Structure 1
Amino acid sequence: MNMFKKYHINSVFFSSFFLFIVLILIAIILLSYRFSTNELVNTTTEYQKQNLYQLSEELGDNLQSFEEYSVILSRQQLFRDVISGRQTSAANMRQTSSLTNDFSNIIYSIPALHSVEIYMNSPPVDNIQYPVRYFPLEDVYDSSWYSQLENIAYSWLGNRDVETMAGEHSVISLGRKINSSNGRLQSIVIVNLDPITAESWLRNFSDDSHLIMLDENGAIVASTGNNEIGDESFEELIEFSDSQNSFQYPLQDDTSMEDSLVVTTAIPQTNWTIMEITPYRDILAGSRQVATLLALLGIFGTLIVLIGTMFLTKKFTEPIHELTRVMKSYQLNKASIELPKGYNNEFGELFTGFEELTNRVEELYASLGVQYQRQRETELKALQANINPHFLYNTLDQMNWTAIESGNIEISRMIELLGKMLRIGLSKGESVLTLEDELKYLEYYLRLQQIQMENRLTFHIDLPAGLQYYYVPKLTFQPFVENSIIHGFRESRSGNIHINVGEQGDQLCISIADDGMGFASENQLKHKDDLGGYGIKNVKERLHVYFGDEAFIHIKSSPDGTEVQILIPKVNDKDLLTA
């Protein structure tokens, strides 16, 4: 279905143009929002990568200082004497007490230190001292964290729960092995870092950012959000980050269930990772404001487009409606309707064309009136012509009887032949005759000419049976016969005229031959200023009008005579010729 053919042009123009503009506005708004959000996300990602790199450097330094604390503690001579177990029991007790006091003083002087755990052979029985605690060395082999220290000197052990006087407390542990001179494991010192301290490091970097510190297993070590310490939800992310220093990772936030932007980077000198999680809703808050503003502008623009489209639609369709109204109200012989002026474009051409068309219609109507008047006059003249022949026939009859009474038989015969010719020639105003009537007219004409030429003229007419009822235009053959008598038998010559009718398929073939003087060429006859030349020309024109290119006339002449051949289509219904 073609809407341009079914609906009104103003509806189609308004709806299509308005819809087109609105779609363009929507596309611009969506593309602008998409472009701005992508740029904002990319800019935020790059900014966070740079900040995380700085934070990772700071965290690396802080963690490095804890590694140095473990070295300092493990290198104290008193610590070496206690774990060696070479003193007596009483001396060992005193040294252990002194070591506990020394380590406690160090822990209290460094706020970030939470506690120290010492695994050794023959630990003191009284093992409730805090923040320094002693455990049997054989217990490490059953612990879950020993695998991280088994083949290296020290390592961060991640989050662990330790017993305190207030109950269990989560800490971040660094373990260091102490071997004897012969390579045997003597002790393991675990320095515990308070997660609150690690969280303060993250918050010192940014209070608004959601930062998470992960160990090598993807477990949460510290967080500025509500994430639970020790949660291993980010194990997959840590596996992916092994080959990259910093990257953007789309993450599903468990708390809001909305997409978030995750940027991570490795902490130097450790196998830990620092990660910043930013919900897209926070990143795109400004972009949403821009989108809201664009939407408002789009609504405002749509209203402007609506008004503009209505205005343009009215301006474009108003001339068409005006032209339609004029066309519907147009009537002949009524006062002319004024069309809008001043249009120099296509509308002006339409108005001008309609005016010219109506003017031609008025002229044609006026000419038809004149033609009708002429036709009426012609009918009156034809009526008069039907009356006049009766007077002529009566007059000829009176002349004929007068000639008979006077004994002028030839004049009587001539008057009689002339009357018969007139009856056939007038033929009640018909323009076509049967072939039989046309040849009778020729016979009467030739007999009249025989009387005039004192029997020096002979003729023969051959009309085969069955051809006499075909119709031909009236007085088609008489000009050729007249031409033979005037030109062929001049100078008192006698002669013979033979008229033969035949058929060739769908055509009639009429031959008119004489044995007169003839002429040199057909052109000589056409240009002679006599009745015969103009008569033949008139016959050709009439045959062309009736039959077109299907009628032919061929004239062949020589000093021994002239022959005219006429080919015309067979017509057995006169209405076909007079239509």
Structure 2
Amino acid sequence: MLGKYIRILLRRKRESIYSSLLIYFILFALIPTLILNFVYYSLASKSINDAITKLGNEMIVKVCGELNYFFESVIRVGDVAADNQHIQTALRMDYGSDVALRYSKDLEMDAELYFASFLQPKIEGLSVLGANGGEYKSYDRTFLNQVHKDQDWYKTIEESKGYVWFPPHQGQFANVSDVEREAFVSCGRAIIDKATGEVNGVLLIDINEKVIKDIISAEVGESGYVLILDVDNNVIISTIDMKGKLIGIENIQHSEGKSFTIDLQVNNGEKTSTQSVIATYQEIPVTGWKVMGIIPVKQLNQWGNILLLLTGFLTIVIVGLAVYTAVRTSNRVTKPITNLRLAMGQVEKGDMEVNITTDSHYEEVNELAGSFNIMVAKVKELMNRIYEEQRKLRKAELKVLQSQINPHFLYNTLDSILWLNRSEKKQEVEILVESLTTFFRVGISRGKDIITIEEEVKHLESYLRIQHIRYGDRFQYSIKVQEEALGCLVPKLILQPLAENSIYHGVKLKKTDCRIDTRIEKQGDRIIMIMEDSGAGMTQEKVSLLNRALEGEKIPDFELYGVRNIKERLQILLKEDVSMIYESREGEGTRVTISIPETTSEIANA
């Protein structure tokens, strides 16, 4: 029915390209978008539910493992105390009316229990209650004024064959609590006389409920929670304020470690509330209790609502973009020929920024417009390339001249000559004057851009000799050149700027003495130049940025210390593969390696 209506509408509007494009764009955008959004919503909802459920399962396994490990450590402490030879001996004694002996033994056994409690610092305390009337404890809380043997907990422990675990209870069974409202989890075992095999007392271990709550305090989801249930499925500890009977979980005994959905009724003593939840549980082997993670289904529904809103928003945005695109396309189709004629007139006047954008349904017009754009782009590219090469060459030549006559360097050198002359250090003055003369003579080199490596080395050596006198013993230097490389031609002023960087960004920033070592050798048809200093060095991040910048990457606010000029000049003059790589370690030094093709006489004379 909808398709028939669209066909009739298009038949009436056959001459309206605007309407046709608009309808088709909306249909082609809306239908796939609705399908994709439905699939996305279904898959995303399932993925979120699975992820939250998996997280809950992993959390419960982790919490259960931590609790079991903790309870096992408590049992180990209890075993150490119950099997203690001194405690065994004390429980066999008959004190009669000897108060002094009883008091002395009390102190000794208190100390034994005190040291045993160090094995698990989270234990609140240990108490030993002997059949002979002996009462010992690991902490300074007094015993309650009661006959312990008559208490139900004592009888339960005495009759058991292993450890008995008691859920949280207000106060302590045998001792006076610091705070009456404090809750404690207790466990106990009968103390068997190793000599006779008879029960001669019980061991009681108290654990503050807060310790266990701290272990299970990791929540499952934003509104999930963790419960500890006893063997009868009563909530005994929880991360929220809830205790009571959980109704509806009697038939989950075979679901341990798996997630299941259940309508849970929670009775907190005042009212019963029902909520649909996703639950998972693990049994604590030591106690037989269960650790249960609860995630309310409404929490998952909240994520589903968010996804629904998101997909609806995306649908509106995509349809809106489709309508906008259809309108723009329809408007462009009506004037391609006029735009092409006007553009040709602009190019004839020298305007190379012209670019025709047309989406005409006439194929010939589109091809003509595309070819015109390609032609203009090629002409513009060639003009820009010529302009850029000339600009780089002129800029490089200008920087070469600036480096040849560095007023700051010349001023410092002349100032050093004047100072040394006043100090009557004639030998140093002669060295400086000779080095400065060589420096400028090689630097100017009768206007040539290409010189021999021997001349380049003289230029570098004169610069280093001048700086060595100025800086004293702050650095030492060496220059090693392979004999076969001395006569090779290279662009001038390569090494001196690198040495200047080593001094100002390496030597000056390091408090200790440094070295600058230069090595030049010929490898096949390439010249390898390596300059290495033991200065301040750079971080690996800075080295990476420097090498990326040398490869042409635009990095804002990054200082290249003039090295880019060296590589650009080499690339312009040699027009071949030029490599310039930095290596550095912060606090250890920097190495730069330059690899260039051997310069031919044709390039030198160009």
TM class, shorter-length: 0.3 to 0.5
Q: Which TM-score applies when normalising by structure 1? A: 0.42
Taking structure 2 as the reference length, the TM-score comes to: 0.40
Tell which structure's C-alpha radius of gyration is larger: 1
